[in-house]
Amino acid sequence: MNIIELKKEQIKLAKKVVVKDDFDDIKYIGGCDQAFMNGKIISAIAVLDCETLEVVEKKYAIVDAPLPYMPGFLSYRESPAVVEAVIKLKQKPDIMMVPANGILHPRKMGMASHLGIILDMPTIGVAKKLVMGEEEKGKIVVEGEKRAAVLKIKEHSNPIYVSPGHRVSLRTATDLVKKASVKNHKLPEPIHEAHKYSNKIKKRLLERR
């Protein structure tokens, strides 16, 4: 895999990213999460009702990992599995929460943004670690630009970093993550449910061996 070519592609794709609200009403929020097993990626999708946070549908897909993990290029490793899982959904989400960064990325093309472009879907990045930027008044600033918000949902837990992926503003992304969260979970419910489901599938597959 040519890193230089991937960087060029990310820079090109970043020009297509929209960081303003570009959607109608949000009725269903999706969340994805990946588990790993023997060179394969298990991607799970959970679709929740926006108002009740009840799970409406769950699907998963298993694909061979196309390349090893490389910082800054997570999407090239995990997105193919996410796309396969999304294709299986009967109820497509109006917006997707991704456990990765959006524009909070050296080339403003984190996995959440990349997935948004691929799927032509509004996406939000929700990351557990800060990869770049400085915190200023609850926002992560990179070269004078506010690229993410700092949220602490669960007491005595580290914060999460919410960044626009595609077709959503920072303010709306932050508000939706708050709305889709409960106090006893560190991550918003769509990602939390997807995480539980991906681990459940992995456990089930391991027990069959």
Please tell me the CATH code under which domain 21-208 is placed.
Answer: 3.30.2170.10
pLDDT in tens, 32-48: 999 999 899 999 999 99
Other C-beta atoms within 10 Å of 80: how many? 18
Question: What region, left, alpha or beta, does residue 112 occupy, with left being phi > 0 and alpha being psi -120 to 50 degrees?
Answer: alpha
pLDDT by position in tens, the chain (length 209): 689 999 999 999 999 999 999 999 999 999 999 999 989 999 999 999 999 999 999 999 999 999 999 999 999 999 999 999 999 999 999 999 999 999 999 999 999 999 999 999 999 999 999 999 999 999 999 999 999 999 998 888 899 999 999 999 999 999 999 999 998 899 999 999 999 999 999 999 888 76
Phi and psi for 9 in degrees, rounded to 5?
-65, -40
Contacting residues for 173 by C-beta, under 8 A, at least 6 apart? 102, 124, 125, 149, 162, 163, 164, 165
Residue pair 78/86 in contact by the 8 Å Cβ criterion:
no
Q: How far apart are CA 41 and CA 172, in angstroms?
A: 30
Angstrom distance (rounded) from CA 186 to CA 145: 26
Helix/strand/coil for 23: coil
